[in-house]
Structure 1
C-alpha cells in the first residue's frame, strides 16, 4: 500500500510528491499522469515564479537547475489606457528585490520546471505512471482504493488530487465549487522584439482586460492578452499579419518592432473555488482547489503555496505517528490554505471587474488609487511583499526558506 498517491503530474503534483518524499524518505509515493511520457517536452508556456516559491524550489534542490533559463523581473510597470491612446501614462511602478539577490519574481519556462521536478522524482525514487488516469475510488477508515484507467487498483493512505480546474477527483469526492465565467479569454504567446526589455514587466489595463508583457531571456517576452471571448477567438484564427498588427497596437513601440515567435492559444477565463479542500483521505491542491483570473500572475504560485502547506501537514503528522490521511490531520491543511485562496480569488475578481471596463468615473477613481499607492512607499512595499509571497504571517516553512 502507498502512503501517498498524487494524481496529476504537472508542477504542483510533482512538487508535492518531491516536498513530502524529501522530508520523509520512508513514505511510499507515486504519481499518476494522464499525458504520455514525453508530451511535457512540447510545452511552450512560461510561468511567473514568485520569491517565496523560488525559496521552496531551492530547498527542494531544483532551483539552481532552473535558474539559468529563468528571467528575473526587476521592475513592474502598470498603466491604464485605451488601445488608441498615443501615450500611456505610468501610474504605478514596483522596483527592487525582496531580499539581496532575489527579485520578487522570475519568469521560468514550464519545460525547465517540469524537467527539474521529474529529475528530483527520479533521484528520490518516486515512480511516475504515464498515460493513466483515476476513474474512481472507494474510501474506508484506513485507506483509499483508487481504480485506474487500465483497470488496475492502487491502495493509498492519502490521495492528492492535482488534476486541474475541472478535477474529476474533486467531483468524485463530493466537493462542490463556487464558479463563474468572465466571458473573457486569455491569449498566450511569445514575441521577439528589437530592443532589450531590461527585465521590466508591463501590465497595461485596457478596456477589454489586462495586457501583460512578461520578460523572458534574450529579446523575448511572454504575453497574456485578455480579450472578450468572441474577439479572442477571432484573433487566434486570424492570419499572421492581422494578428501581429493588433498585437503591436496593444504592445506599443517601446521595444521596437515585434514578431510572434511561438504558437498562439486562447484559454477561457473564470473563477473556480472549491468549497472544501479536503475529504476523508483526499486533499485537493493546485487548480483542482482553485482557478483564478491571471491578472495578478498568482495562479501557479497559489498551487506552490498549497504544496508547502500540505507537505508540512503530512510530514509533521507522520513524525508524530498520526495517520496522514485522517480527516482531522488534513483539516489543518485546509484551514491553512482556504482563507488565503478565497482572499486571492476575491482580489483578482474585483481587480478584473474594476479594470476591464471603460466607464469614466470608475477609470478616474482607479487611476487616483494607483497614483496614491505610487506616492506611499510603505504601501508599495506591502504590495511588493504580497506579490512576492514573503509578507504573509504564519506561512509554511518551505515558503520561508526553512526545511520542514
Structure 2
C-alpha cells in the first residue's frame, strides 16, 4: 500500500526542511525529497555562507523545538551599521533593551545540522535523499512524484522548495519576472584581530555592497565574521583567482581597518546575483515557498527570512483548513496562503532591488544625497524604529509560529 502523506515537499534545504518540521509539530505528515546528499551538505567547508536569522524567524525555530540546539551556535546582532563608503552620515540601528537583539547570525552548516538531526527523529517526516525526481503528477484528487528508482510518493499537496531554479515551478508554467544584476557575491569567512561586538556592517560602494556579518568566536577564541562582497561579474574571476595574501589585501581596503589584521577562514566561493519574483505562488494542489517563489538580492539579508515567513503562513493555513475537515491541497486554503504572502514578499523584494539600484549610482552628488538621507534617518527615532522592526521581521500580519 502506498505511503500517502499530507505534503510532498520537493527540496529539503533550509526552507523545505523547516516546513516539514513545522508541519510535523502540527500533526501534518510529509515526504521530503532532495537530490543533494545530506552528508555533503553538512560537510565542513562545503558552504561558507551564513544567514541572518530575524527575531521572527528565531521564534519559528524555537516554536518547532530547535531553540536549544541552535542557541549556543549563533551570534547576536547588536547593531547594524549602514554607511556609504565609510563616509560621514552613517546609520546605526540598535535595538531597544526590550527587543534583545536585531537577530542572530548562523553558519548555514549549523542550521542544516540542527534541521537534519531533528528531521531524522520525526516519524511524520519521510526523508528521501539523495534521489532524483523523474516525473511529477498533479490532479484533482492528489499529487505524486516518481523517483529515479521507480518509487512513487503520494500526497495531497505538492510544495516546491527547490530554490531559484525550481524544476517544479518551471514544469508548472509559472510566469517569472527576473533580471540579472551582472554581479557576483563573493563569500568568505574571516578571522580578525579586533572583536566585532555583534556589529553587522553594510558598506555601500558604487561597484556593489560589502557586508561583514558577525559570527561566534571559534574554539581557539579567534574573532570571526562572514563576508559577502558584491562585485561586477567581469571582476569576479580575477578576485577569486588572487593568491590569498593579495585577496586579503583587497578585502582590507574595503574594511578600512575596522577589525585590524585579518586572516582567511576557509575557502572562497561565489554565486551570481539576480532578481526573480512569481506573480502567482499557487497552482492546482501546488504551493511555492522560499526562493522558488521569490529570489532577492542579499543586500539586507532577508532572503531566508522571507522563505521562513512563507513556511509560517502555509502551515497556519493548512492547520486551520484541516481543522475544518479540508484536505491540504484544497483550492480555498491555497488561495488564502497566496493572498497572505503576496504583499509582504513583493514589498521586501522591491525594497531590496531599489536599495541595490540606489546605492549603485556613482558620483559625488548621489553619494551626498544618500548620506543626507541616512543622516536624517539617524536623527528620526520613529523612522529608525520602523526599519528595525522590518529587519527583525516583526511587522505586518505574522503567523502564530513566528510570534514569541
- TM-score band by shorter chain is over 0.9
Asked if the contact 1:207/1:357 (under 8 Å) is kept, the reply is yes
Match of 2:129 in 1: 130
User: Per-residue CA shift, 1:136-172, capped at 9, x if unaligned?
Assistant: 2222211112122333222210111100101000011
Match of 2:253 in 1: 249
Q: Tell me, in whole angstroms, the C-alpha distance in 2 between the residues paired with 1:238 and 1:76.
A: 30
Return the TM-score normalized by structure 2: 0.94
Change (3 A) 1:28 1:399: closer
Asked if the contact 1:7/1:133 (under 8 Å) is kept, the reply is no
Matched, 1:34 2:38: no
Q: Tell me, in whole angstroms, the C-alpha distance in 2 between the residues paired with 1:67 and 1:120.
A: 15
Q: Tell me, in whole angstroms, the C-alpha distance in 2 between the residues paired with 1:97 and 1:279.
A: 42
Asked if the contact 2:48/2:269 (under 8 Å) is kept, the reply is no
Match of 2:182 in 1: 183
Asked if the contact 1:77/1:90 (under 8 Å) is kept, the reply is no
Match of 2:193 in 1: 194
Q: Matched residue pairs, number?
A: 392
Q: Tell me, in whole angstroms, the C-alpha distance in 2 between the residues paired with 1:18 and 1:281.
A: 20
Match of 1:224 in 2: 228
CA RMSD, 1 decimal: 1.4
Q: Tell me, in whole angstroms, the C-alpha distance in 1 between the residues paired with 2:89 and 2:73.
A: 29
SS, match of residue 324 in structure 1:
coil
Unaligned runs of 5+ in 1: 82-86
The offset of 1:97, in angstroms, is 4.7
Q: Tell me, in whole angstroms, the C-alpha distance in 1 between the residues paired with 2:298 and 2:196.
A: 21
Matched, 1:357 2:361: yes
Matched, 1:6 2:5: no
Asked if the contact 2:182/2:272 (under 8 Å) is kept, the reply is yes
Match of 2:395 in 1: 391
Match of 2:328 in 1: 324
1:287 aligned residue (283, 286, 291): 291
Asked if the contact 2:89/2:372 (under 8 Å) is kept, the reply is no
Matched, 1:264 2:268: yes
The offset of 1:96, in angstroms, is 2.1
Asked if the contact 1:157/1:325 (under 8 Å) is kept, the reply is yes
SS, match of residue 228 in structure 2:
strand
Q: Tell me, in whole angstroms, the C-alpha distance in 1 between the residues paired with 2:266 and 2:117.
A: 26
Match of 1:20 in 2: 23
Match of 1:149 in 2: 148
Q: Tell me, in whole angstroms, the C-alpha distance in 2 between the residues paired with 1:136 and 1:360.
A: 55
Change (3 A) 1:168 1:228: same
The offset of 1:90, in angstroms, is 4.8
Q: Tell me, in whole angstroms, the C-alpha distance in 2 between the residues paired with 1:135 and 1:274.
A: 24
SS, match of residue 165 in structure 2:
coil
Asked if the contact 1:78/1:90 (under 8 Å) is kept, the reply is no
Asked if the contact 1:74/1:97 (under 8 Å) is kept, the reply is no
User: Per-residue CA shift, 1:22-75, capped at 9, x if unaligned?
Assistant: 012xx3312111112301212332111000000111101102211101000101
